[in-house]
């Protein structure tokens, strides 16, 4: 992505704008959880905000944020590698982690380029540094204070980026350190964590930040949002997850037979932790098998040849995903600039570019059952919602809605509530951002008290979110007065 100068996006455009919203708001001294709702931590947006503040273009700030993190964590990566791994293994493992920091796609084998879910890549990179530090013995130094500092920084980063990683991995980290009797490492990492909590509390102006974070996490998990259709049973029965589960358990047995008792215990403890992380992250393949491959590769004992072979199976299983990560930054070099348009017209260097066809060629899906949901508001206004979801052309739809708002003189700063997963109009004109609202909606009621205008797309990115928002608005006792019905949306004024 960043090798091409400008930043070319060919998928998950709304996710990209969602991340950019958080960074811009952070740069404007708006605080996550307190001033805008999000289940993601402040460090999801902070690296992008730093580069925006230094004058980078919107696209460049997003692309180079991963490079910035890779540079910042390079000393920790070097120390953990040089004290625990052989030179050849260290080189390959470091390359994998740097790749996770800097790639231009979250994973998969799809050939699109996007910045979507970048925080998951970053968290895997940090998690792999962290797990390497606690799983394998320090062979060249007994500097537990330094090890503890690295462990504490990594855990703090996870807690302030994607807390599911912290919740899942913290108990495993403790088990590994206790098994190795690394008491000073435990104490130092706990101290670093307390310092991180104190710093964030002071920065946010009090402990209310943490209570607001809990509320946002509850929003994401309880506001009518289902992370996996079918729940845990269907998730575990997916072929790739079933393979990963069996691989982790068999790997633990092989490590035990090789005399690697602590690694075997860690592998067992990591099995539910890794499944938990994967379950709560959209579209994830089991990248964690790569760490199992590392554990098997560095194991000793009579079955070392078997362990090497087992590692190669894990690497082969994930090979296509990591090849996709590796070439993601090379792919845009072959793109034709004319096939893309600048999202922010004033950008000249490091611009954020969307594919024209995906932006403007509208494609929707409609349920064969032709379901119609009817929501009744306080003033007896009935809003009908068809089961129409937009697949591509969302940028063109947003532009059409913004033009309609401008024609109706509603670009006067009036705060907008968009009945869909995302609401980013405020970045492109004087369309009022919904104060205390969510930058990515899960169907909750955040910021409803500030809404003046409600936009209801005919075809939403997330139809269940559209329904949940309007249902919550009606249940809260608000009324709606139709202002305009356009080709792609209905625009209402809120009646209190």
Give the mean model confidence (pLDDT) for residues 163-174.
96
Q: Is residue 223 within 8 Å of residue 444, measured between CB atoms?
A: yes
The pLDDT of residue 218: 87
Cβ burial of 191 (10 Å; 0-12, 13-18, 19+) is middle
Q: How far apart are CA 333 and CA 323, in angstroms?
A: 17
Q: Is residue 140 within 8 Å of residue 158, measured between CB atoms?
A: no
pLDDT at 446 over 90: no
The pLDDT of residue 4: 53
Q: Is residue 63 within 8 Å of residue 89, measured between CB atoms?
A: no
Beta-carbon contacts of 187 under 8 Å, excluding residues fewer than 6 positions away, are 148
Q: What is the per-residue pLDDT across 301-314, written as a single tens digit (0 to 9) for each?
A: 656 677 788 888 88
pLDDT at 479 over 60: yes
Residue 390's nearest CA partner among 360, 356, 346 is 360
The pLDDT of residue 230: 63
Higher-confidence residue of 413 and 1: namely 413
- What are phi and psi for residue 27, nearest 5 degrees? -65, -30
Q: How many CA atoms lie within 13 A of 222 on its CB side?
A: 7
Show the tokens assigned to 395: 């940028």
Q: How many CA atoms lie within 13 A of 327 on its CB side?
A: 12
> 10 Å Cβ neighbour count for 92?
12
Q: Is the dihedral of CA 222, 226, 227, 231 positive or negative?
A: positive
Q: What is the per-residue pLDDT across 217-252, written as a single tens digit (0 to 9) for each?
A: 988 877 544 555 567 777 888 888 899 999 999 999
Q: Is residue 24 within 8 Å of residue 367, measured between CB atoms?
A: no
The vertex-286 CA angle with 284 and 288, nearest 5°, equals: 125
Torsion of CA 45, 48, 51, 52, to 10 degrees: -90
Average pLDDT score over the chain: 89
The pLDDT of residue 224: 46
Chain centroid to Cα 386, Å, comes to: 29
**Coil, helix or strand at residue 65:** helix
> 10 Å Cβ neighbour count for 54?
10
Residue 100's nearest CA partner among 132, 133, 128 is 128
Helix (H) or strand (E) holding 242: helix 239-257
Residue 382's nearest CA partner among 392, 373, 393, 374 is 374
- Confidence class for position 134, pLDDT limits 50, 70, 90: very high
Q: How far apart are CA 415 and CA 418, in angstroms?
A: 10
Least confident range from 211-215, 328-332, 438-442, 450-454: namely 328-332
Helix (H) or strand (E) holding 248: helix 239-257
Q: What is the per-residue pLDDT across 336-387, written as a single tens digit (0 to 9) for each?
A: 888 999 898 766 667 899 999 998 988 888 876 667 888 888 887 888 888 8
The pLDDT of residue 139: 84
Q: How far apart are CA 50 and CA 55, in angstroms?
A: 9
Q: Is residue 362 within 8 Å of residue 393, measured between CB atoms?
A: yes
The pLDDT of residue 379: 82
**Coil, helix or strand at residue 492:** strand
- Confidence class for position 109, pLDDT limits 50, 70, 90: confident
Q: What is the DSSP letter of 31?
A: P
Beta-carbon contacts of 262 under 8 Å, excluding residues fewer than 6 positions away, are 135, 176, 179, 180
Q: Is residue 107 within 8 Å of residue 285, measured between CB atoms?
A: yes
Helix (H) or strand (E) holding 354: strand 352-355
Chain centroid to Cα 278, Å, comes to: 12
β-strands 340-342, 372-376 pairing: unpaired
Report H helices in 28-86: 46-53, 58-84
Share of the chain above pLDDT 90, in %: 58
């Amino acid at each position: 992505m960043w090798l091409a100068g400008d930043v070319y996006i060919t998928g998950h455009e709304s996710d990209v704008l969602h991340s950019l919203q958080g960074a811009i708001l952070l740069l404007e001294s708006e605080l996550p959880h307190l001033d805008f709702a999000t289940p993601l931590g402040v460090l999801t947006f902070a690296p992008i905000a730093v580069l925006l503040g230094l004058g980078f273009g919107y696209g460049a700030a997003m692309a180079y944020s991963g490079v910035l993190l890779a540079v910042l964590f390079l000393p920790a990566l070097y120390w953990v590698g040089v004290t625990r791994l052989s030179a050849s293994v260290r080189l390959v493992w470091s390359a994998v982690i740097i790749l996770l920091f800097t790639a231009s796609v979250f994973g998969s084998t799809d050939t699109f380029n996007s910045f979507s879910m970048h925080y998951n890549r970053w968290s895997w990179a940090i998690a792999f540094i962290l797990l390497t530090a606690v799983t394998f013995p320090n062979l060249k130094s007994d500097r537990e204070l330094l090890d503890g500092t690295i462990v504490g920084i990594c855990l703090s980063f996870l807690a302030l980026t994607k807390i599911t990683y912290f919740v899942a991995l913290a108990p495993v980290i403790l088990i590994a350190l206790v098994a190795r009797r690394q008491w000073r490492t435990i104490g130092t990492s706990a101290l670093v964590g307390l310092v991180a909590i104190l710093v964030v509390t002071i920065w946010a102006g009090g402990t209310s930040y943490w209570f607001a974070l809990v509320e946002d996490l509850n929003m994401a998990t309880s506001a009518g949002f289902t992370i996996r259709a079918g729940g845990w049973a269907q998730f575990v029965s997916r072929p790739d997850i079933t393979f990963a589960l069996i691989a982790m358990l068999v790997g633990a047995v092989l490590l035990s037979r090789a005399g690697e008792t602590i690694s075997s215990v860690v592998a067992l403890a990591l099995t539910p932790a890794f499944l938990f992380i994967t379950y709560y992250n959209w579209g994830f393949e089991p990248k964690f098998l790569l760490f199992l491959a590392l554990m098997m590769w560095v194991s000793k004992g009579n079955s070392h040849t078997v362990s090497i072979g087992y590692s190669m199976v894990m690497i082969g299983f994930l090979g296509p995903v990591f090849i996709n990560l590796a070439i993601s930054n090379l792919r845009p070099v072959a793109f034709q600039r004319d096939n893309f348009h600048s999202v922010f017209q004033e950008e000249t260097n490091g611009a954020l570019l969307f594919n024209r066809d995906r932006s403007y060629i509208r494609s929707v899906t409609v349920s064969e059952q032709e379901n119609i949901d009817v929501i009744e508001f306080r003033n007896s206004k009935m809003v009908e919602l068809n089961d129409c979801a937009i697949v591509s052309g969302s940028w063109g739809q947003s532009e059409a809605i913004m033009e309609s708002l401008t024609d109706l003189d509603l670009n006067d700063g009036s705060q907008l509530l968009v009945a869909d997963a995302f609401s980013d109009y405020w970045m492109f004109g004087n369309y009022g951002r919904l104060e205390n609202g969510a930058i990515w909606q899960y169907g909750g009621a955040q910021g409803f008290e500030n809404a003046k205008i409600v936009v209801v797309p005919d075809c939403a990115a997330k139809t269940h979110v559209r329904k949940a928002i309007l249902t919550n608005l009606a249940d809260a006792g608000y009324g709606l007065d139709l202002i305009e019905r356009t080709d792609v949306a209905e625009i209402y004024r809120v009646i209190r």
